[in-house]
Amino acid sequence: MRISANLGFLFTDLPLPEAIGAAAAAGFDAVECHFPYDVPAGHVAQALRDSGLPMLALNTRPGRAGAFGLLALPGREDEAQAALQEAFDYATAVGAPMVHAMAGIAQGPAARATFHANLAWAAPRAAARGLQILIEPINAQDVPGYFLNTTAQALGVLDALAEPALRLMFDLYHVARTGEDAVALLPQVLPYLGHVQIARAPDRGVPVGGDVDIPAVLRALRGQGYAGAVGAEYRPGPGEGFGWLSALRAL
């Protein structure tokens, strides 16, 4: 199983091009990031070529400081679509196949309609570039008011829009914090699955131990046909290394 370093949380003391090299040196198979836009895409593309690692995914801009996205915010459709277009351009330039479209902090019918409309606008544009758009439920304890909180809610969006370019980001940390059973959900989520992320729950630490048996979930994923990579999106503690990496890769 390929393991990707999420550079939003890992190697954050380094500039993004150097972080890519550090991830390769640590033994990761790929990288993904949050918001790379302050670094020219050409610099990142060169770092990826030098390291031999692919970049799997990046996020749309979150909006104003402290925000978590734009797509579900009524009245900000132009800003949301500009963020999507920017993410598509950057992803294409660095060879990343997936873009996480961040919904934002919003609730209610107007937010739902706005989120659906923005995704419907984005899906054919992503497909034309060979890209997938990921939507991710984020638990309400970490981000109160975020539009998407549960797996069922995200699957409802994907069912309503029925766009092949729209896929689910299945983050085992958020699943656990929401009180859901990741293994029990697998038969439901596999037809929609675009990417998987891992971290220990409840502290978002190194993906060993905690409330979720991560190896068991990954074995179940592999057994049910998931062939994609797994993104390590966790906050490392002081002095923690990557001894866990080889064990998870062996799954």
As annotated, the active-site residues are: 136, 233
Q: Please provide the distance, in angstroms rounded to a whole number, between the alpha carbons at the two ends of the chain.
A: 6
The residues, any chain, with a CB within 8 Å of residue 30's CB and separated by 6 or more, are 2, 3, 4, 5, 53, 54, 55, 56, 229
The DSSP call for residue 205 is B
Round to whole Å and give the CA distance between 122 and 163.
10
Are residues 163 and 134 in contact, defined by beta-carbon separation less than 8 angstroms? no
Q: Looking at this protein, which amino acid is placed at residue 61?
A: R
Work out whether strand 57-59 and strand 230-232 pair parallel, antiparallel, or are unpaired: unpaired
Per the DSSP assignment, residues forming a β-bridge with 204 are: none
Q: Where are the alpha helices (DSSP H) in the chain?
A: 16-26, 41-51, 77-94, 109-128, 151-161, 172-177, 182-189, 214-223, 244-249
- Tell me how far apart the alpha carbons of residues 47 and 64 are, in angstroms, rounded to a whole number: 29
228: left (phi over 0), alpha (psi -120 to 50) or beta: beta
Cα dihedral 96, 222, 160, 70, rounded to 10, equals -40
- Rounded to an integer, what distance in angstroms lies between the CA atom of residue 60 and that of residue 63? 9
